[in-house]
Amino acid sequence: MTDSMVDYSLREGVGHIVLNRPAKRNALSLDMRTVLWEAIEQADKDDEVRAVLLSGTGEHFCAGGDISEMRPGALDAEAGRDRIAPVSKGAQRLLEMTKPVVVAVDGCAYGAGCSLALAADFVVATERARFCMSFLRLGLIPDACGLFTLPRVVGWLRAKDMLYSTRAITGSEALEYGAVNELAAPEHLQARSWEIAVAMASLPRTAFSLIKTALLRSMSADVGTMVDTEMAGQAIAYSTTYHEEAVKRLRAGSPPLYSWPVNDID
C-alpha cells in the first residue's frame, strides 16, 4: 500500500510504515490519521508481518497534529473524540499487538508524534531528535496513549516535568529517561532501525507474544496474577517447536536461532 501521506511495505517479515509529509514535518492531518490507522491495522492482521517499523520521511519523525487543520471552538465533544480516535486507537494497537514494534526517530517527535514513539517496543533515535509533550501549549491534553505510556516509561516526576514544562528533550536525554533504547547517527538511523526490526522479526512468535502481553498486564496486576501468568505462559512456550530446536542447538554447540545485532554501524 502506498499513499501520498503514509507508505506501507512488507519486506523480510517487516511491515514498514512511513509517515510521508516531509514538508509538514510529517504532521498528522485528519486524512493521514485514518490512513495511518489502516496501515497499523494491516500490519497487525497480516501473518507475514513478524515485526513493524514506524519511521518518518525526511529529517523529522512527526510534528504531532497538523496545526493548520485545528478549529478551536468548532468541535463538540463527540466530534472531538472522532477527530483523535484514529491516532489514539492506532497507538493502542501498537501497544497491544503481539508483534515487535520498532520506531525510528529523527528531528521532532512532538505531541502525538512523541506519544507514538512511546508506544514502541524499541526506539532508535538520533542525538538531534527532540521529544516534546507539547499539548499544554495548545490548551490540550496528551493523546495517542501518551497519558498511559509516558509515566510508565520515564517515571512519575519526569512525566510531570515533560507535560507541565512542555520542553523538548534531546535524544541523549530521552535515552537517559528510558524513552529511547539506542542512539544512532542521522545517516545510520534507517539502516540501524531496519537491522533491529529484521532481527526482532526472527524472534519466536509465541514466546514474544506471551512476554509482551504479560508485560502490559503487569502494569496493573498484582504479584499473584503475574505468577499465574508466568506459569501458564511457560507451559505454552515449553510446547513450541522453537523451544525444542533452540535446546537442541544449545546442546550441540550450534549457533542460536536468535541473536541480537551488535551495533557496529556507527
- The string of pLDDT tens digits covering residues 218-237 is 999 999 999 999 999 999 99
Cα distance between residue 197 and residue 201, in whole Å: 6
Q: Which residues contact 162 (CB under 8 A, 6 or more apart)?
A: 131, 132, 133, 150, 154, 169
* pLDDT tens sequence across 79-119: 778 778 999 999 999 999 999 999 999 999 999 999 999 99
Q: Residue 109 — φ and ψ, nearest 5°?
A: -130, 80
Sheet with 108-110, side-by-side order of all strands:
108-110, 130-132, 169-170
Copy the grid coordinates of residue 99.
508483534
* pLDDT tens sequence across 234-265: 999 999 999 999 999 999 999 998 888 877 65
182 vs 2, more confident: 182
Name 15's bridge partners: 10, 52
Task: Give me the residue label for grid cell 512519575.
Answer: 156
Instruction: Return the closest-CA partner of residue 149 out of 125, 178, 128.
Output: 178
For domain 6-201, is the CATH number 3.90.226.10?
Answer: yes
pLDDT band for 73, please (50, 70, 90 cuts).
low
Q: And the C-alpha cell for 48?
A: 507475514
Per-residue pLDDT at 2 exceeds 60: no
How far apart are alpha carbons 179 and 59 in whole angstroms? 20
What single DSSP character describes residue 111? Answer: T
Model pTM score: 0.94
Give yes or no for a contact between 5 and 29, defined as CB atoms under 8 angstroms apart: yes
pLDDT single digits (tens) 140-198: 999 999 999 999 999 999 999 999 999 999 999 999 999 999 999 999 999 999 999 99
User: Judging by DSSP bridges, how do beta strands 51-56 and 182-183 pair with one another?
Assistant: unpaired
**pLDDT one-digit tens code per residue, 6-63:** 999 999 999 999 999 999 999 999 999 999 999 999 999 999 999 999 999 999 999 9
User: Is the Cβ–Cβ distance between 182 and 192 less than 8 Å?
Assistant: yes
